[in-house]
């Protein structure tokens, strides 16, 4: 009887261990397969630790929509402008480079009084909407691929943004593979 009870306890312990392992392994990467396909379009990051992804509402007569616009002026200035939106939660990102040609590796993001690299939350009052890139904090915009044949750009990023109300937003685990124009 003791052996049978011990076997049941051991079996329950192993079952619990296996279920725990399965649960954590099921929390897999939603873009794992997409990363293997160079033409797969995606953008993802975390905003204050919460997963953030683009989203837009399709037009009733014209169908689908695209929640991003990537403009890379590789033949002229080399400037980059990336605009990503989530219409459901009224938030968006703007990434800008100026006065430099982007390259594989780390790139400097742009900010001045008029235009900024930023995260915006349109649910807030006017003066608190824009979380501008805090250049006094360590940030990264690491371009990992520039495909000039198929017009795709890939990068990883993270930054801290501050708004005019003194609040901060922490953008982490950012990554994208998106088509660009120009």
Per-residue pLDDT of 10-29, as tens digits, reads 555 555 545 544 444 445 77
Confidence (pLDDT) at 91: 97
Per-residue pLDDT of 51-86, as tens digits, reads 999 999 877 666 678 999 999 999 898 899 999 999
Q: Which DSSP symbol is given to 127?
A: G
CB atoms within 10 A of CB 134: 15
Buried residues in 66-90 as b, exposed as e (16+ CB within 10 A)? ebbebebbbeeeebbbbebbbeeee
pLDDT above 50 (res 137): yes
Nearest in space to 157 (alpha carbons), one of 174, 144, 170: 174
What number is the average pLDDT over the span 88-107?
94
pTM (two decimals): 0.79
Q: How much of the chain, in percent, has pLDDT values that exceed 70? A: 82
Mean pLDDT of the chain: 87
Nearest in space to 180 (alpha carbons), one of 102, 113, 112: 102
Return the structure tokens found at 33: 């397969």
């Amino acid at each position: 009887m003791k052996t049978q009870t011990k076997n049941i306890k051991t079996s329950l312990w192993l079952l619990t261990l296996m279920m725990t392992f399965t649960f954590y392994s099921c929390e897999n990467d939603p873009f794992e397969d997409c990363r293997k396909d160079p033409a797969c379009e995606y953008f993802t990051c975390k905003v204050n630790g919460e997963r953030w992804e683009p989203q837009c509402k399709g037009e009733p007569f014209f169908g689908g929509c695209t929640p991003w616009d990537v403009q890379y002026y590789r033949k002229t200035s080399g400037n980059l402008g990336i605009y990503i939106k989530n219409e459901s939660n009224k938030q968006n990102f703007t990434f800008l480079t100026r006065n430099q040609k982007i390259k594989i590796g780390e790139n400097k993001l742009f900010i001045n009084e008029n235009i900024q690299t930023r995260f915006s939350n349109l649910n807030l009052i006017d003066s608190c909407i824009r979380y501008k890139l805090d250049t006094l904090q360590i940030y990264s915009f690491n371009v990992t691929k520039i495909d000039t044949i198929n017009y795709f750009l890939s990068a990883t990023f993270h930054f801290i943004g501050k708004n005019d109300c003194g609040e901060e937003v922490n953008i982490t685990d950012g990554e994208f593979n998106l088509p660009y124009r120009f």
